[in-house]
């Protein structure tokens, strides 16, 4: 197969959802279709369970297993599908945001009864900012839920998406009969009483055909015709270009648990979803079919075994081919590195590969060279853009609790921050270190890992911060900025990259600061233009 064909057949995507909407179940069903797993439950058992909110030992255990599920690859209709796992747990949202920098498209799962939930809103906003092509899957149609049109409205209003339904449910909950597939123009009937995934597909390109009554009954037929008329009247027809530009969003309905509507989703997905897209670097736009290899680190996974402190750095290949034992330039360190055992992922296994293509994810054993966002090339000094940090939600001073082990402590903190477990801020005034996390759980994880992996002990002290804002002065020399620096001295810190950060202690002080120093721009995300 030619290089070009290898690129065109790749689909690298992520599934996002609010916890419990059905992301894991859907992932599993997609893997079953791809023949990548033989039985349901294989992925599910690896999931970080809800109970984990108070049980970080469990998370540690899961962390080990989840290396295997970080990337789930399989073949379907000759397409190479790479699903990048995104943790549903909200305390790991930052991980998910970073993973979204490595996907070429996204499927959003929404629970038919709960509608659009908070976590979905945040994640979709990130996708919209980046114009990532996005398909919506409304799940759990076997249960009573919201009216389909109300849900479509909600998706448009709350998520700011412009929807185009590609399937439509026939009934719902107890009366759920099946789905009309608008994309393929057929009906899939569901005999779901015994939940045995039985389905029957009937080609049906003319919805006015009177046979419809015989198949789904008079009332359901009437309703379906009315609904489809409304769909046609209200929503624009599917436009693949608009979808690829992230401007239109196809919607599917189904039930992942009952394997219903999943094949339709997958078939349409492989057909319309983009192959690896060009990616912007600080220097230029890099196209997938360029010959020279380039890629970037979007995730770092620590080894579970404390005796082997190596880590696995996950690289998304953006262009060219990544080859085993070939020297590549680590741009930030300006150093050539060779990798003798790059891992590729297939189903739930990882294995050493000789060659990988754009869209693929390669796992590299790392002894501390990599940080999230690092770029590898064949020699060009490129730096990929866009692994932003978001303001953490929780902040605490971190103190050394064992003065004999301060070297270990700082090394540990440094490496955990490189992995992206949390963010570190150093106060300008006195050099004290503050850890910022998305969820309270991470403080426990950090403490536990510092002790077990680095032999260091830390303690925390509260530090009341509402939001961390990255500071951009219109003119760093002007008096307003100098005044801001002087007055707010106590609240100013540097992040790990040396960027200036304002730690606002309340919404009120943030607003006051903004209005008092209008030329000092405060951003909630670390990357801004």
The number of residues that bind ligand G4P (CB under 6 A) is 18
Q: Which of 23, 277, 299, 316 binds ligand G4P (CB under 6 A)?
A: 23
Distance separating alpha carbons of residues 501 and 526, to the nearest angstrom: 9
Task: Confirm if 446 and 421 have CB atoms less than 8 A apart.
Answer: yes
Min dist CB 488 to ligand G4P, Å, is 41
Q: Which of 366, 363, 343, 368 is nearest to 353 (CA)?
A: 343
Residue 19 structure tokens: 């916890």
Phi and psi, residue 396, nearest 5°: -145, 145
Closest to ligand G4P by CB, 159 vs 465, is 159
Task: Confirm if 87 and 358 have CB atoms less than 8 A apart.
Answer: no
**Interaction between residue 25 and ligand G4P (CB under 6 A):** yes
Phi and psi, residue 352, nearest 5°: -75, 135
Q: Which of 3, 8, 19, 326 binds ligand G4P (CB under 6 A)?
A: 19
Residue 54 structure tokens: 């108070």
3-state secondary structure of 260: strand
Closest to ligand G4P by CB, 88 vs 320, is 88
Residue 362 structure tokens: 């390669």
CA–chain centroid gap for 272, Å, is 20
Q: Which of 6, 11, 22, 167 binds ligand G4P (CB under 6 A)?
A: 22
Q: Which helix (H) or strand (E) holds 127?
A: helix 118-129
Task: Confirm if 230 and 150 have CB atoms less than 8 A apart.
Answer: no
Choices 20-28, 129-137, 284-292, 427-435 (CB under 6 A): range interacting with ligand G4P? 20-28
What is the Cα Rg of the chain in Å? 25
Closest to ligand G4P by CB, 22 vs 34, is 22
Closest to ligand G4P by CB, 323 vs 348, is 348
Q: Which of 24, 70, 96, 377 binds ligand G4P (CB under 6 A)?
A: 24
**Interaction between residue 20 and ligand G4P (CB under 6 A):** yes
Closest to ligand G4P by CB, 235 vs 253, is 253
Residue 4 structure tokens: 């070009």
Q: What is the DSSP string of 7-46?
A: HHTEEEEEEEESTTSSHHHHHHHHHHHTTS-SSTTTTGGG
By CB under 6 A, what part of segment 32-91 binds ligand G4P? 44, 88
Min dist CB 24 to ligand G4P, Å, is 3
Q: Which of 409, 331, 320 is nearest to 370 (CA)?
A: 331
Q: Which of 10, 13, 14, 17 binds ligand G4P (CB under 6 A)?
A: 17
Other CB atoms closer than 10 Å to residue 48's CB: what's the count? 22
Min dist CB 150 to ligand G4P, Å, is 19
**Interaction between residue 98 and ligand G4P (CB under 6 A):** no
Closest to ligand G4P by CB, 29 vs 488, is 29
Q: Which helix (H) or strand (E) holds 421?
A: none
Closest to ligand G4P by CB, 5 vs 45, is 45
By CB under 6 A, what part of segment 135-174 binds ligand G4P? 139-140, 142-143
Closest to ligand G4P by CB, 72 vs 257, is 257
Q: Which of 36, 73, 221, 256 binds ligand G4P (CB under 6 A)?
A: 256
**Interaction between residue 257 and ligand G4P (CB under 6 A):** yes
Min dist CB 86 to ligand G4P, Å, is 10
Distance separating alpha carbons of residues 146 and 253, to the nearest angstrom: 12
Min dist CB 172 to ligand G4P, Å, is 12
Q: Which of 21, 136, 148, 492 binds ligand G4P (CB under 6 A)?
A: 21
Distance separating alpha carbons of residues 253 and 177, to the nearest angstrom: 12
Closest to ligand G4P by CB, 257 vs 398, is 257
Q: Which of 8, 12, 36 is nearest to 295 (CA)?
A: 12
Q: Applying CB under 6 A, which residues contact ligand G4P? A: 17, 19-25, 44, 88, 139-140, 142-143, 255-258
């Amino acid at each position: 197969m030619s290089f070009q064909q290898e690129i065109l057949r790749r689909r690298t995507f992520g599934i996002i959802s609010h916890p419990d909407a059905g992301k894991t179940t859907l992932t599993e069903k997609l893997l079953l279709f791809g023949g990548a797993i033989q039985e349901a439950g294989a992925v599910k058992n690896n999931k970080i369970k809800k109970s984990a909110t108070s049980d970080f030992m469990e998370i540690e255990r899961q962390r080990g297993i989840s290396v295997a599920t970080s990337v789930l690859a399989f073949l379907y209709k000759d397409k190479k599908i790479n699903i990048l796992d995104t943790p549903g747990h909200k305390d790991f949202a930052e991980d998910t945001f970073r993973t979204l920098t490595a996907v070429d498209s996204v499927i959003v799962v929404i629970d038919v009864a709960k509608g659009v939930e908070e976590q979905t809103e945040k994640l979709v906003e990130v996708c919209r900012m980046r114009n990532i092509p996005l398909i919506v899957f409304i799940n759990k149609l076997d249960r009573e839920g919201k009216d389909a049109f109300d849900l479509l409205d909600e998706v448009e209003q709350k998520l700011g998406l412009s929807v185009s339904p590609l399937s439509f449910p026939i009934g719902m909950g107890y009366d759920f009969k099946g789905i009309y597939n608008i994309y393929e123009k057929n009906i899939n009937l569901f005999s779901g009483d015994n939940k045995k995934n039985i389905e029957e597909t009937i080609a049906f390109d003319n919805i006015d055909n009177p046979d419809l009554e015989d198949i789904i009954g008079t009332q359901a037929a009437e309703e379906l015709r009315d609904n489809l008329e409304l769909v046609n009247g209200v929503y624009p027809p599917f436009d693949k270009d608009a979808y690829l530009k992230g401007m239109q969003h196809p919607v599917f309905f189904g039930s992942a648990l009952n394997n219903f509507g999943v094949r339709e989703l997958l078939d349409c997905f492989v057909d319309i979803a983009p192959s690896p897209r060009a990616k912007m670097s600080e220097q230029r736009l890099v196209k997938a079919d360029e010959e020279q290899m380039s890629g970037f680190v979007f995730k770092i996974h620590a080894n579970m075994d404390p005796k082997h402190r190596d880590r696995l750095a996950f690289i998304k290949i953006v262009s060219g081919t990544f080859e085993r034992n070939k020297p590549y330039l680590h741009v930030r360190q300006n150093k050539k590195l060779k990798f003798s055992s790059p891992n590729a992922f297939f189903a739930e296994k990882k294995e050493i590969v000789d060659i990988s293509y754009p869209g693929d994810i390669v796992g590299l054993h790392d002894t501390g060279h990599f940080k999230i966002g690092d770029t590898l090339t064949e020699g060009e000094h490129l730096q990929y853009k866009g692994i932003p940090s978001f303001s953490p939600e929780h902040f605490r001073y971190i103190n050394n609790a064992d003065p004999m082990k301060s070297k270990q402590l700082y090394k540990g903190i440094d490496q955990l921050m490189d992995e992206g477990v949390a963010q570190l801020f150093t106060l300008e005034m006195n050099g004290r270190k503050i850890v910022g996390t998305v969820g309270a759980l991470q403080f426990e994880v950090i403490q536990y890992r510092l002790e077990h992996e680095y032999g260091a002990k830390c303690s925390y002290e509260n530090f009341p911060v509402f939001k961390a804002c990255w500071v951009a002065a219109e003119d760093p020399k002007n008096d307003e900025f100098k005044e801001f620096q002087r007055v707010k001295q106590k609240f100013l810190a540097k992040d790990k990259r040396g960027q200036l950060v304002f730690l606002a202690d309340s919404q009120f002080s943030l607003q006051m600061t903004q209005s008092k120093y209008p030329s000092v721009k405060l951003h909630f995300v670390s990357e801004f233009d």
